[in-house]
């Protein structure tokens, strides 16, 4: 299955699915799906402390259904990025924590599920100060919201510029019109722009498409016909 993001590693031998108590099987047809949010919250309670202890940030956690199984996707990142070896370490730690939580309190995800741990792709929006800080030097397109200040243009506008600095309060962009600074409240989600003349600067991990633990390609599961439901 094709794993999304710069780096990714499925858990289990050769990326096989994990299975909880076989007597439960998959979710029953027609069963209520109102527990998806609670399931995701319980997963976060188990996974986030593990990711933090390993020295990374939990950027996203989602639970989706693909046929009879669930897919638990965990996206992690850190200053300086995260490579395949680090993803594998985090994946093993998260898998062990899920096993321990299930032994102590029962199934967290009913039936079969696949755990996928990856780092963010370049198409992931920049929404937090740390996202901007980790993309200093990259070209970004962002919506700058209009302000009430008389020296600022009214109305929202699209700005494309290179991130030259970012801290906990504001980000500085170098645009065709010069350097501008904005607080995060003034910015919508930023989008990194692919620069074909700078592809040699992209990490190998940015181009990683997905492989199992034997180094073989993983078939794509992100088929719209297979994914029945997702909670983010």
> What integer pLDDT is reported at residue 195 of this predicted model?
87
The domain locations on the chain are: 8-122+203-231, 129-199
What does the DSSP 8-state code read for residue 194?
A: P
Q: Is the pTM of this model over 0.85?
A: no
Query: Average pLDDT of the chain?
Result: 76
Residue with tokens 């390609």: 217
- pLDDT, tens digit, 9 for 90 and up, residues 21-73: 433 334 444 444 547 788 889 999 999 999 999 999 999 999 888 888 889 99
Is it the case that residue 190 has pLDDT exceeding 70? yes
Q: Give the C-alpha separation, 117 to 86, whole Å.
A: 10
**What is the number of alpha carbons within 13 Å of residue 173 lying toward its C-beta?**
24
> What integer pLDDT is reported at residue 12 of this predicted model?
39
Top CATH class of 129-199 equals: mainly beta
- Residue 91 pLDDT class (50, 70, 90 cuts): very high
Comparison of pLDDT for 216 and 122, the residue scoring more:
122
41: enclosing H helix or E strand: helix 36-53
- pLDDT, tens digit, 9 for 90 and up, residues 98-149: 999 988 887 788 778 899 999 998 889 999 999 999 999 999 999 998 764 5
- Phi and psi angles of residue 187, each rounded to the nearest 5 degrees, phi first: -110, 140
The SS3 of residue 225 is coil
Q: Which two tokens stand for residue 224?
A: 């719209």
Report yes or no: 115 and 88 within 8 Å, Cβ to Cβ: no
The SS3 of residue 69 is strand
Give domain 8-122+203-231's CATH architecture. 2-Layer Sandwich (3.30)
Give the β-pairing of 18-19 and 57-66.
Answer: unpaired
> What integer pLDDT is reported at residue 168 of this predicted model?
93
Comparison of pLDDT for 147 and 79, the residue scoring more:
79
């Amino acid at each position: 299955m094709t794993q999304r993001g710069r780096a990714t590693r499925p858990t289990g031998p050769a990326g096989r699915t994990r299975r909880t108590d076989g007597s439960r099987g998959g979710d029953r047809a027609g069963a209520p799906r109102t527990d998806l949010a609670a399931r995701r919250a319980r997963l976060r309670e188990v996974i986030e402390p593990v990711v933090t202890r390993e020295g990374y940030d939990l950027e996203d956690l989602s639970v989706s259904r693909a046929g009879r199984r669930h897919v638990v996707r965990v996206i992690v990142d850190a200053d300086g990025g995260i490579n395949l070896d680090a993803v594998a370490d985090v994946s093993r730690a998260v898998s062990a924590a899920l096993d321990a939580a299930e032994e102590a309190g029962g199934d967290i995800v009913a039936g079969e599920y696949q755990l996928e741990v990856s780092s963010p792709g370049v198409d992931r929006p920049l929404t937090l100060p740390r996202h901007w800080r980790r993309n200093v030097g990259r070209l970004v397109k962002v919506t700058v919201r209009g302000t009430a200040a008389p020296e600022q243009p009214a109305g929202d506008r699209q700005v494309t510029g290179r991130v030259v600095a970012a801290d906990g309060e504001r980000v500085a962009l170098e645009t065709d019109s010069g350097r501008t600074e904005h607080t995060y409240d003034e910015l919508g989600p930023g989008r990194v722009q692919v620069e074909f003349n700078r592809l040699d600067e992209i990490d190998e991990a940015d181009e990683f498409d997905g492989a199992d633990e034997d180094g073989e390609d993983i078939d794509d599961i992100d088929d719209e016909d297979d994914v029945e439901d997702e909670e983010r």
